[in-house]
Amino acid sequence: MAERSFLGDMLTTLFERRQADQAASDERSLPDLCRALLDAEGEVSGIRLAQTILDRYGTLDDAGRRDFFTFLNDDLEINVNALGAAAARYAETNDLKDYQAMVAQTETRRWELFRRLNMPMGATRALVEMRRHLLVALKDQPDLKRTDIDFRHLLRSWFNRGFLVLRQISWETPASILEKIVEYEAVHAIESWDDLRRRLYPQDRRCFAYFHPAMPEEPLIFVEVALTQAVPDSIQGVLAEDRAPVEARETTTAVFYSISNCQQGLTGISFGNFLIKQVVEELKAELPGLTTFVTLSPIPRLNAWLRTQPEDDTTARVLANVATEDEVRDTAAAYLRHAKTSKGLPFDPVARFHLGNGAQIYAVHGNGDTSPNGIQQSSGAMVNYHYDLTKIEANHERFQQSGEVALDDAFQQSQSPAKTRIIPGRQRIAS
Out of 217, 313, 326, 404, the residue judged to bind a copy of itself by CB under 8 A: 217
Residue among 192 and 413 whose Cβ is closer to a copy of itself: 192
Residue among 313 and 393 whose Cβ is closer to a copy of itself: 393
Residue among 214 and 328 whose Cβ is closer to a copy of itself: 214
* Helices 62-75 and 123-140: angle between axes, nearest 10 degrees: 90
Residue among 216 and 300 whose Cβ is closer to a copy of itself: 216
CA neighbours closer than 13 Å in the CB half-sphere of residue 253: 16
> Is 146 an interacting residue with respect to a copy of itself (CB under 8 A)?
yes
Out of 58, 74, 75, 145, the residue judged to bind a copy of itself by CB under 8 A: 145
Out of 57, 158, 257, 385, the residue judged to bind a copy of itself by CB under 8 A: 158
> Is 312 an interacting residue with respect to a copy of itself (CB under 8 A)?
no
Give the binding range for a copy of itself (CB under 8 A) out of 59-67, 145-153, 302-310, 367-375. Answer: 145-153
CA angle in degrees (0–180, nearest 5) for 320-324-327:
90
> Is 324 an interacting residue with respect to a copy of itself (CB under 8 A)?
no
Task: Tell me whether residue 21 is exposed, middle or buried, using C-beta atoms within 10 angstroms of its C-beta: 0 to 12, 13 to 18, 19 or more.
Answer: exposed
CA dist 327 to 91, 333, 342, Å?
Answer: 64, 10, 27
> Is 393 an interacting residue with respect to a copy of itself (CB under 8 A)?
yes
Q: Which residues from 238-277 bind a copy of itself, rule CB under 8 A?
A: 273-274, 277
Minimum distance, C-beta of residue 238 to a copy of itself, in the bound complex (Å): 21
> Is 123 an interacting residue with respect to a copy of itself (CB under 8 A)?
yes
Active site residue 365: no
Minimum distance, C-beta of residue 159 to a copy of itself, in the bound complex (Å): 10
Active site residue 192: no
DSSP H or E run through 254:
strand 253-261
Q: Which residues from 177-206 bind a copy of itself, rule CB under 8 A?
A: 177-179, 193, 196-197, 200
Return all residues near 330 (Cβ < 8 A) that are at least 6 apart: 364, 366, 419, 421, 431
Out of 27, 61, 140, 172, the residue judged to bind a copy of itself by CB under 8 A: 172
> Is 29 an interacting residue with respect to a copy of itself (CB under 8 A)?
no
What dihedral angle (degrees, nearest 10) is formed by the CA atoms of 53, 55, 61, 66?
20
Residue 254 and residue 24: Cα distance in Å, rounded?
52
Alpha helices (runs of H) in 343-391, residue ranges in sequence order: 349-356, 372-378
Out of 83, 136, 246, 375, the residue judged to bind a copy of itself by CB under 8 A: 83
DSSP E strands in 339-392: the ranges are 360-365, 382-386
Residue 79 and residue 107: Cα distance in Å, rounded?
9
Which of the following is catalytic: 234, 258, 260, 297? 297
Q: Which residues from 396-425 bind a copy of itself, rule CB under 8 A?
A: 396-397, 400
Residue 6 and residue 90: Cα distance in Å, rounded?
48
Minimum distance, C-beta of residue 397 to a copy of itself, in the bound complex (Å): 7
Report phi then psi at 297, rounded to 5.
-115, 150
Just list the catalytic residues: 297, 354
